[in-house]
Structure 1
């Protein structure tokens, strides 16, 4: 009896020791909830199975709430171990010494393409391991295009004008070029392709939008599209880009919409909607693949489990694990040896990327100040209301916003 009690006690002590030795990682993200699962649960389950001594506790915090909730924790000695971050957060927290620098000799860093590598590197430091790049381009309703005799989505400005004319003549609404984001996206993409100065210099004050012929030409193009019956500017100024525009396209009421690939999943829920996702039409033959660096993982310098945190983050960099997220997000891997989660309907966007049409969205990689994003969207809404505005007046306001935020 005594021997049995002793044996039981030893087993209980061993179990208690094993339990206390388990590392629990506190991870926060604005993905992983019911609305945007992003494959988080699946990858975390795989990680825990491969690392039974590490448990992951994932807390969903929206992107907007991250700005409010996380900084007090970072500064108050109660930081998460791993946090989802984008480049604006990485810049602020990295400069403040709140994020671990992986170093540019990290294994995953060497697999990031040079263009994105330079964008995520801050003064020689690598604070964020990227998780996805997602496309922003043109959604096109294939059935509506076909009704107007159009066999493929337009990729050039001239083809877009011709398509708009044919659609309008057939009594079909050509394009949702709405206020805010869609009109700004279209203009920025065309401006980036034709820009005569380095993109980063436009955001740091070393160059000015008003002096850049490419961005002035992009505004001229916008006017030309309105004249070609692509859209009614007065009507579009009153359309909400994040609700009405999406529901109108999903319902099959408009032929084209500039938006992000993150909408592929929701649009696909309408079995009667036959659509494609391609590049933003531009002056070139390929169109612009406006790539958005979405988010990545950062590790707190205050974490007591930095090695376990690095193991967790590195796990996501492996192609077979990251592919789960990419498939859920219809996104591209940020690594040269990674894959794509885009479906066949995005083949035109894939082709534009392969043809050299990629332009990294400057706000997502910290090249332009965040305040300029809002100013550009507001400016394009105002432009819809009055296309007679002088280009230089709009571009000067963009320059002033940059000057006020550097």
Structure 2
């Protein structure tokens, strides 16, 4: 009887062990040869991922990336939801405020501080130090995703701007062609001299569009902040708390004065340009982005790179500077699976993910190692954009009130150029607007 009871007890214990093992996600299967194989039956984790809907290439790249990741990690399911660009930030902020944000979210670099200050993002600093290969990303790029000494976003790609010029106009006017070397940018003085020689308003030809006209605040930040930086000025302090002492510095005033005089004194820039003025041969010099290369190639095939136009580094004042930062990925503080979320984010923004993404979109990857993999990014003209970002890139003001800052700076450029308002008065009003916005954000946060 003792043997019988002992046998029953042993069988019961074995059943308990098997059940317990199953509850822990582990099972045991016996094959037809009697061998026992250990099978991991891990529970599937579902992660929600929100992003802005991009062009066809970007959407295709994201679909391929998520599919590749899930194949690599079958126990992690990614539910990706793209939103139209115009609605995305509003929907994301609403979800954060309501306490039900996605696990993973795409955030545009300038919006970092507002999400970080709201406690919506988990710091990624320790993750990056552990297995994020920080040394593979330019320091100035990482600075654009850092708020109060913590990294909050993982960068994917960069976009950049440079100087496009009509080569035939330059040659006809006897103007020496700018260098293609990213480290040998023309000065704004040289650009002005060339613009004066090309300028022919009587025949509808303008010398230069220095910063894409007077567009919205986002374009202002991307195209006009660099002019301020190039002249040695700045918009805000490093902490992003005040514009006083920076937007009103002598260097910033010189930048604003030079920009204004292109329109008012030298009259080489216009307050309004024809559509596609540059490829339509109505504009001698323009400051524009990498995307313009494909636009011209597709829409204006008779306006050829190397024959009709060329690309040179962004002009400089006392220094070279270009705005960096683009869409990046962050993890919600509300996520119940932050480790799995980091696994996804790190793969997407790491070597393997970025190589796949850039091969589809042709965008500039944020990592040195990936940029080296694409021949076209290491040759003229795209090498100009790549090297500028890596060596002379700098983040736009990292502040929770970035939208208000850019709106104030946009209005400042409009007022001193279009409305011919007194420079000091316009600057003082812009500073008051920015500093009040920051003070209000602090009171709301508290």
TM-score, shorter chain, exceeding 0.5:
yes
Q: Cα 1:399–1:68, aligned 2, differ >3 Å: closer, same or farther? A: same
Q: Cα 1:164–1:327, aligned 2, differ >3 Å: closer, same or farther? A: farther
Match in the other structure for 1:125: 150
Q: Cα 1:281–1:381, aligned 2, differ >3 Å: closer, same or farther? A: same
Q: Contact 2:143/2:395 (CA < 8 Å) preserved in 1?
A: no
Match in the other structure for 2:269: 231
Gaps of 5+ in 2: 1-29, 31-38, 179-184, 439-446
Q: Distance in 2 between matches of 1:75 and 1:19?
A: 36
**What displacement does 1:127 show?**
2.1
**What displacement does 1:200 show?**
2.6
**What displacement does 1:64 show?**
3.8
Q: Contact 2:191/2:315 (CA < 8 Å) preserved in 1?
A: yes
Q: How does 1:296-311 map to 2 (within 5 A)?
A: 296-311=328-343
Are 1:290 and 2:315 counterparts? no
Match in the other structure for 1:5: none
After TM superposition, the structure 1 stretch with the greater mean CA deviation from structure 2, 311-320 or 44-53, is 44-53
Equivalent residue in structure 2 for 1:269, among 283, 288, 298: 298
Aligned-pair Cα RMSD in Å: 3.6
Match in the other structure for 1:383: 416
Match in the other structure for 2:245: 208
Match of 1:249, SS state, is coil
Match in the other structure for 2:381: 345
Q: Cα 1:81–1:18, aligned 2, differ >3 Å: closer, same or farther? A: farther
After TM superposition, the structure 1 stretch with the greater mean CA deviation from structure 2, 340-349 or 312-321, is 340-349
Q: Cα 1:202–1:216, aligned 2, differ >3 Å: closer, same or farther? A: farther
Gaps of 5+ in 1: 1-9, 11-16
Match of 1:303, SS state, is coil
- Deviation per residue, 1:215-262 (Å, 9 max, x gap): 111122124433344213xxx1x45xxxx65x3334343222223334
Q: Distance in 1 between matches of 2:106 and 2:371?
A: 21
Q: How does 1:187-266 map to 2 (within 5 A)?
A: 187-195=224-232, 199-201=236-238, 203-205=240-242, 207-209=244-246, 211-226=248-263, 227-232=265-270, 236=271, 238=272, 245=275, 247-266=276-295
Match in the other structure for 1:52: 74
Equivalenced residue count is 377
Q: Contact 1:200/1:368 (CA < 8 Å) preserved in 2?
A: no
For the pair shown, the structure with the greater C-alpha radius of gyration is 2
Are 1:39 and 2:64 counterparts? no
Match in the other structure for 1:158: 189
- Deviation per residue, 1:312-334 (Å, 9 max, x gap): 11112322421343455554433
TM-score, with structure 1 as normaliser = 0.78
**What displacement does 1:338 show?**
4.0
Q: Distance in 1 between matches of 2:294 and 2:419?
A: 35
Q: Cα 1:325–1:401, aligned 2, differ >3 Å: closer, same or farther? A: farther
**What displacement does 1:371 show?**
0.9
TM-score, with structure 2 as normaliser = 0.72
Q: Contact 2:364/2:386 (CA < 8 Å) preserved in 1?
A: no
**What displacement does 1:204 show?**
2.0
Q: Contact 2:154/2:345 (CA < 8 Å) preserved in 1?
A: yes
Match of 1:255, SS state, is strand
Are 1:371 and 2:404 counterparts? yes
**What displacement does 1:38 show?**
7.3
**What displacement does 1:110 show?**
2.6
Match in the other structure for 1:179: 214
- Deviation per residue, 1:100-149 (Å, 9 max, x gap): 22233342263333333344222343321111232133333334434434
Match of 2:125, SS state, is coil
Q: Cα 1:146–1:35, aligned 2, differ >3 Å: closer, same or farther? A: farther
**What displacement does 1:184 show?**
6.8
Q: Distance in 2 between matches of 1:24 and 1:202?
A: 37
Match of 2:50, SS state, is strand
Q: Contact 1:140/1:277 (CA < 8 Å) preserved in 2?
A: yes
Equivalent residue in structure 2 for 1:26, among 40, 48, 52: 48
Q: Distance in 2 between matches of 1:97 and 1:187?
A: 30
Q: Contact 1:202/1:209 (CA < 8 Å) preserved in 2?
A: no
